[in-house]
Amino acid sequence: MYDIETFYAGLVEHGLILPTGIRGGYGRGAVFEKILRGFNELVSRTAAPDGAEEMTFPPIVARTLIEKVGYMNSFPQLAGSVHSFFGNEAQARDITSRTQAGERWEDLLDITEVMLTPAACYPVYPVFSGLLPNGGRLVTVLNWVYRHEPSDEPTRLQSFRMREYIRVGRSEDVVAWRDAWLLRSLELLRGLGLAAQSDVASDPFFGRAGKMMAANQVDQRLKFEILVPVISEEKPTAICSFNWHQDHFSSKFGIRNADESLASTACLGFGLERVTLALIKAHGYDPQRWPEAVRAQLSL
Ligand code: AMP
Ligand code: ZN
């Protein structure tokens, strides 16, 4: 049985999620976090032989990076911008009186040099600038990301965590890596008792021109997703994505292979909250009652 309201109510009742009044911005209880952490560690163990370099970034990126990669052309509807107060004493008093009077006050703010990170891999590309070592590089990150898509669906969040791997190098190596991970991830997720299926996919590019970009992305098989039924049988939820960016990032950041040719990049991202919710939907609200084989893999 798939029903958004019943699932949400069950998650709250079992203390797995904690309502905050923000749509897509609920808190996570200790058990939810334990499942999420267990899955993240399983991913790390699975990928350990590849020897990825681990990097950690704050959940903000330079506004100039957002501008450079063209995020505001492609996904302005999802962006989150950080603003702050740069004014004088009189203007600060104006904010106080306006908030007390229940009036609008945000026109007294100005943009800062940062925006909220929209995808965990974004801060990594500038690090690759210049000549790559032979064979390219492989990096892993885990970060909170922001997307402005408020929703009552427990699987559609405004702020959530992405565990990503980012591969940079020659096109054929990068594509082979992505395709191998698609199979590896299907196996990993099915091994946890999830009814996982893969499919070609597209990003929610904005507007009419965006529709063409999305169609092109599908035609060229640039994006794949792994889908699992969580809140609907007919519309399964994407729990991880596999993207080949061709030279989109490498041309902007001057990333070249050891032989000076323009590099290619790909990334894969597990939506950690979505994987956690898919596991809860498949096995129930109490992990102590999950199949032993699943609990063992997740250290539950
Ligand atoms: P994307 O960069 O859009 O391919 O997203 C990477 C992964 O993050 C997806 O496969 C989902 O698992 C997850 N994800 C994307 N959007 C959301 C959202 N609004 N709420 C929760 N998880 C999401
Ligand atoms: Zn990515």
**Which residue has a Cα nearest atom 8 of ligand 1?**
271
Cα–chain center distance at 187: 21
**Which residue has a Cα nearest atom 15 of ligand 1?**
271
DSSP single-letter state for residue 22: S
Query: Taking residues 155-169, what's their average pLDDT?
Result: 98
Q: What is the mean pLDDT of the chain?
A: 98
* pLDDT tier at 1, thresholds 50, 70, 90: confident
Neighbours of ion ligand 2 (CB under 5 A): 119, 121, 267
Query: Given a cut of 90, is residue 201 above it in pLDDT?
Result: yes
Does this model's pTM top 0.85? My answer is: yes
Among 146, 147, 198, name the best residue to mutate to test ligand 1's pocket (greatest count of ligand atoms within 8 A of Cβ).
147
CB 63 within 8 A of CB 111: yes
Tokens of 81: 């911008």
Q: For ligand 1, is residue 153 a contact (CB within 6 Å)?
A: no
The per-residue pLDDT for 106 is 97
Tokens of 231: 């809140």
pLDDT, one tens digit per residue, over 206-259 is 999 999 999 999 999 999 999 999 999 999 999 999 999 999 999 999 999 999
Neighbours of 99 (CB within 10 A): 11
Query: Taking residues 152-170, what's their average pLDDT?
Result: 98
CB 160 within 8 A of CB 175: no
The per-residue pLDDT for 183 is 98
**Which residue has a Cα nearest atom 16 of ligand 1?**
156
CB environment 27-64: b (16+ within 10 A), e (fewer): ebeebbebbbebbbebbeebbeeeebeeeebebbbebe
Ligand approaching nearest to the C-alpha of 248: 2
Share of the chain above pLDDT 70, in %: 100
Query: Taking residues 41-48, what's their average pLDDT?
Result: 98
Tokens of 177: 């890596």
The per-residue pLDDT for 239 is 98
Q: For residues 69 and 81, give the distance between their C-alpha atoms in angstroms, rounded to a whole number.
A: 15
Dihedral sign of CA atoms 277, 279, 285, 288 in order: negative
Give, in degrees to the nearest 5, the angle at Cα 163 between 193 and 31.
Answer: 55
Q: Tokens 């690759």 — which residue? A: 128
**Which stretches of the chain are DSSP H helices?**
4-13, 30-47, 63-68, 71-74, 89-100, 171-190, 207-219, 248-253, 272-283, 292-297
Q: For ligand 1, is residue 149 a contact (CB within 6 Å)?
A: yes
CB 238 within 8 A of CB 227: yes
CB 178 within 8 A of CB 268: yes
Query: Given a cut of 90, is residue 35 above it in pLDDT?
Result: yes
